[in-house]
Chain A
Amino acid sequence: MIPRHLKFMALVLVVLAVVLGYSFFWLKHKAEHKQTRIAQDALPVAPPVTGPTSTATLYVADDHTGLLTRTTVTIPLPPDSSERTQQILRNLLTLYQTSPSPHAIGEGSDVKDVYFVKNGLVVVDFNNAFADKHPSGILAEELTVASIVATLRANNPQIEKVKILVEGKDRETLAGHADLETPLDAANFTQVVKDLQ
């Protein structure tokens, strides 16, 4: 015969276990939801794009294989070439910042402006997060740079050189390795892209 007070204690413990278990799952769910919201907040905020959709080519880097993959996306693109290029690059950066990411870049990376200068030179201005938070390493940085240059060239074959700025200023390297001081020669990257495919 089990004493009455022991039965009561067992009942209390069971109720306590159920309450604690529910609380744990509720808190975990809340934390995951908050994490997702933070990640979404960090994504570049693209201006609303309206108009007909077009096909754009992206060269997507993959950290696992160390390679670039050519892919096409159908997205609404503005008619102005600078805005159009900016939108394509934003798609690429958004892809890298959406879980599961094929290639790690800095959280909150964004393209601020794209300027087409004469003689096939295009100047792309990124925000600080793009460079300051980028993982450091030759291959890690080269994959990012090659992916950007190849994407630009694939969507606009007139591009011959790409100059990368960060917040409108020159920067020596992306994250300690890839040289950003000299404009990147798109033709030279053609071979790199072939090697990386």
Chain B
Amino acid sequence: MIARLTPRWLSLALLCAAIGLYFAPGARTQAQKHLTVYSRSAVYSVPIISVDGQDYIGLSDILEPLGAVDARVEGKKWKLRFTPNGGQEITAEFQQGKNKAKARGHELSLGNKFHLENDRGYIPYHDIGMVLPIFEPLPVDLHQASYRVFLGDVAIKFTTEMQKGAAPRLALNFSAPVNPTIATEPGHVRLVFRRDALVNAGPETTATGDNLITSSSFNDSAGTPQITVAGTVPLTASFANGNRTIYIAPVPSALPAAESPKPAAPPAQTAEQSPATAIPAPGPSVPAGPRFLIVIDPAHGGDERGAAITPSLAEKDVNLVIARRLQHELQNKGIAANLLRNADTAMAVDDRATATNAVHPALYICIHSANLGTGMRIFTALMSPSGATTHSFLPWSQAQAPYLDLSSQFAGSISAELNNRQVPVTALPAPLRPMRNIAAPAIAVEIAPPDETVANINNPQYQGDLVAAIANGIAAMKPRLQGVKIQ
């Protein structure tokens, strides 16, 4: 009897387990949606999670780059204290599973229940427009459908102007310098503005009335603004006016023979490309030749909180904010940078090393923070340089050995930048994982507060100065790495 029933019960149990797992909180499929926040001090993206099919967003994730966040859980209550830069402390209180909340002494009514996960508070995405103005003194402009929010007067507007004649061209005039990625494909040029707060004040599609450059259209439905210019001939893009103007023109060979000798107005930089290739916008350090990728690892995450910077401020959160700033700073310099984690998630040290080694970066940089001392410390792996080469199999614990010299050079370059800015800096080897497992140049930085006040570690100006120095130090190494062969 038992033997006959066992397979049936087993199947039933497996089915129940599958259903249970499907509905378990950890098994929720997290949509790959992000809210892009544009502010004067930073442009950053915040992951959106799905709770019971609804979009939710971490309130402290949004606020951290804007000031000092102090959040703690008391039973089912989530108490938040936020001090905007140069502003006064604002307090708020939310409760798990409740729509009602209090902020600045006033009652709030959320469109959906407040959600608490891993001690972090999440509000319904649709309520950002209501909640954010409580904490942010500047006007908040939420573009709900495109998952973009603008804090203050940061939006960049643009106009189009078709200049007809022997050498027709479409001028895109922007209210501030822009730095898009440009892709030329058969029949159109696409400009993707990943970091620019571009908004459209006119119609979505504009017909130019020209035979060669036929129309331009704006789209930000996927969260990233794009301008697509369509044409009947291959088109090229060039920058002028300090990146405030982009000219789209037919490639010279596509112009009628009688008209082709006339050159266009002198562009600042020409972004002529063969079809179907993507190029970054010209900048001070445009990647050229072999890929120069930086992997940024915000240390700790999830249950692993790292050091307690203050009783309510965990190292893992500071690390993530600084890592996002560094990624932005590097991208502004035209240097590709990946984050190993972009949310409050746990990751084993071996997984961090495996993920890094898989992409063969020019540098792995691990971000730490601490409340001891001031300034910044830079660490390389503490190990003996082995006689092994990168061409042979290396023990997992010795993967860093052939790269120690380059790692030290990166540390030296960043130290020099920090010295120029008179930031106290110490460079040391340290017994740290996963650095010894990284098969690429690898460093770790530990950021300490600027002065005796530990909470100042969250000062955006201070963090901005440090990441600028780190990014400059990395950029300075780029030409030195060209042609370097590691034995």
Contact = CB atoms under 8 A, between A and B. Distances in A.
A140 B428 contact: no
Contacts of A142: 428, 430-431
Contacts of A195: 426-429
B151 interface: no
Interface string A154-197: 00000000000000000011011111011011011101100110
B429 A188 contact: yes
A139 B372 contact: yes
Given A135-B372, A139-B370, A176-B304, A188 B383 contact: yes
Nearest to B433: A179
Nearest to A185: B384
Nearest to B369: A137
Interface in B422-460: 426-433, 436, 444, 446, 448
Interface in A125-156: 135-140, 142, 145
Interface in B274-312: 300, 304, 306-308
Contacts of B379: 138
Dominant SS among interface residues on chain B = mixed
A182 B372 contact: no
A120 interface: no
B429 A137 contact: no
A41 interface: no
Nearest to A174: B431
Contacts of B368: 137-138, 177
Contacts of A175: 307
Given A136-B307, A138-B379, A188 B384 contact: yes
Interface in A47-70: 63, 66
Nearest to A177: B432
Given A138-B377, A179-B433, A192 B428 contact: yes
B476 interface: no
Contacts of B446: 137-139
B371 interface: yes
Contacts of A185: 382-384
A105 to B, nearest CB: 12
A138 B429 contact: no
Contact of B373 (A63, A145, A191): A63
Contacts of B429: 188, 191-192, 195
Given A66-B426, A136-B308, A179-B433, A188 B382 contact: yes
B417 interface: no
B132 to A, nearest CB: 33
Contacts of B428: 142, 192, 195-196
B397 interface: yes
B436 to A, nearest CB: 8
Contacts of A188: 382-384, 429
Contacts of A66: 372-373, 426
B253 to A, nearest CB: 57
Interface of B: 300, 304, 306-308, 315, 368, 370-373, 377, 379, 382-384, 397, 426-433, 436, 444, 446, 448
17 contacts: A63-B373, A66-B372, A135-B372, A136-B306, A137-B307, A137-B315, A138-B368, A139-B373, A142-B431, A176-B306, A178-B430, A182-B397, A184-B431, A188-B429, A192-B382, A192-B428, A195-B428
Interface of A: 63, 66, 135-140, 142, 145, 172-173, 175-179, 181-182, 184-185, 187-189, 191-192, 195-196
